Structure 1
């Protein structure tokens, strides 16, 4: 962690110096610096870029493993997002990606190659974190992001970690040029979807008002999941209390089995009203069946090691009871 902090400070200083000369926002300066990380010396044009690239601590940075590189980019992105209020511009906590990875290992234990898709990939922090932790599998990654700045940031983040991830710069509720995947992961942005005509193509469509975008993303994710595959969503705890929740209930009943609903530690959120859960579905297929009992739990803080160990034992016992084998 000391080396990560030291390298973060070095990169941060270079970003600050870069934006002083350009008056750009921190995020634009960060993109400039990360581009210099992945560029060859021969590709650098301006004298300013050459001077900045020469000062990059590339020897130390290149020697790091992927998770350490990701954490440095994550810290820099967090600084860029400081004060952001839009849900889609907040980074998913690392503890969430750890639980997602743990569940994926258990559910897809028999898959040597996993096709993984994040329809709201943002900076690709969640996507690359999960890929880094799925060490027993070859992962083919896909991400979709409507914001061009975050699409570029996600691509740079993946390139720095040498992950071959295919990114779509588009609205993920629109049709995707993507074959069905084994696993979808998404930290769902909450809000209404403005395109009523497109929303009409979905079962969760509301006739009386704009449809919730997060409902549409759940349906779209299941559409691009292979039968028997899984979808894991970070959802608000109030997901099923809304006036449109009836449509969502019907969709899930028709299309998926509920595997797990895990309440995330409240310490991750600023208030109880903002608290979220990890919701895990399996798309129905010819040979799938619902679990005898869905896995339901209140997850403890990672800081409480004993409680976390006990929770993992409880979840391991559930997977064994349900017939899932270990990797």
Structure 2
């Protein structure tokens, strides 16, 4: 991967988005959507704004270079004005989840992957870019700016992704997918009426969105399919944890729990783990032993190699 391609694309997108913000009464992120759309399909009305800038030829770019260049621009646009749900999964984590998906689906010739909280599409794209088989992605997102950025992400990388702009906890026009990847939105779900359709609804007050997303994800996963969630470490410590535990054991096998390094997070309360489930089916069985580990810093190459060896060993000895 060429770092200069990442930087060139970022600079072009940043300059174009800034110009559009200044001249067209847009926010930076709206400018970024417009610039990304123009890059994919040049339109005369914006040509004056971008004419003096050296346009990157995306035919010379790898998918990951495009994803990372766009991600840098999105991160800049989100800085300072970021709400909790406007959060991008860290690159190292997204790539590691892609590695895990690859390990669990080595035999699959083609597959479908669904992210029910796809945001800007960064996690879904990072996973798709690491798979060698034919893959179709599906993403759902309620925020209009984020889903437009996900659309740009898919188009510029030429990834086959179908996007749903809706409340992801409402019924989706989607067949169950082979796998699910998702950085779960954490917090309360405001629609108490719709929450009544879920087993994991709260008996009183608002239900936890992160619980409902787990249930919805299992609903849209094929039997025997795997789900890779980024969860808050306090997931099983809440007042509704027993209900969640019972639900998971009823519908899925717990395959693994990999705690991300605490150094990645500004506070203990924000710390996350990768939680791997398999949806129960007629022929499924739990692993002999769940894959449990505290992941080292992704920057520590030696420690990370050791961890990858341990994961490989688990696949050989304890997976089934």
Tell me the TM-score normalised to structure 2 length.
0.96
Displacement after TM superposition at 1:217 (Å): 0.3
Tell me which residue corresponds to 1:71.
68
Displacement after TM superposition at 1:25 (Å): 1.4
1 CA distance for matches of 2:4 and 2:35? Answer: 22
Equivalent residue runs for 1:126-141 within 5 Å: 126-135=123-132, 137-141=133-137
Tell me which residue corresponds to 1:28.
30
What stretches of structure 2 of length at least 5 have no aligned partner?
Answer: none
1 CA distance for matches of 2:277 and 2:53? Answer: 43
Task: Say which of 78, 83, 94 aligns to 1:81.
Answer: 78
Check the 8 A contact 1:11/1:56 in 2, yes or no: no
The answer as to 2:317 corresponding to 1:315 is no
2 CA distance for matches of 1:57 and 1:117? Answer: 36
Check the 8 A contact 1:141/1:164 in 2, yes or no: yes
Tell me which residue corresponds to 1:203.
199
Cα deviation, 1:136-180, whole Å, max 9, x if unaligned, reads x11111000001111111111100111121100001100011001
The answer as to 2:243 corresponding to 1:247 is yes
Alpha carbons of structure 1 residues 82 and 11: separation in structure 2 relative to 1, 3 Å: same
Check the 8 A contact 1:7/1:57 in 2, yes or no: no
Displacement after TM superposition at 1:34 (Å): 0.8
Check the 8 A contact 1:117/1:142 in 2, yes or no: yes
Check the 8 A contact 2:12/2:56 in 1, yes or no: no
Check the 8 A contact 1:205/1:247 in 2, yes or no: no
Tell me which residue corresponds to 1:121.
118
Of 28-37 and 54-63, deviating more is 54-63
2 CA distance for matches of 1:166 and 1:193? Answer: 24
1 CA distance for matches of 2:313 and 2:293? Answer: 13
Aligned length: 318
Task: Say which of 261, 273, 280 aligns to 2:276.
Answer: 280
The answer as to 2:167 corresponding to 1:171 is yes
Equivalent residue runs for 1:1-327 within 5 Å: 1-40=3-42, 44-46=43-45, 49-135=46-132, 137-322=133-318
Partner SS, residue 188 of structure 2: coil
Of 76-85 and 215-224, deviating more is 76-85
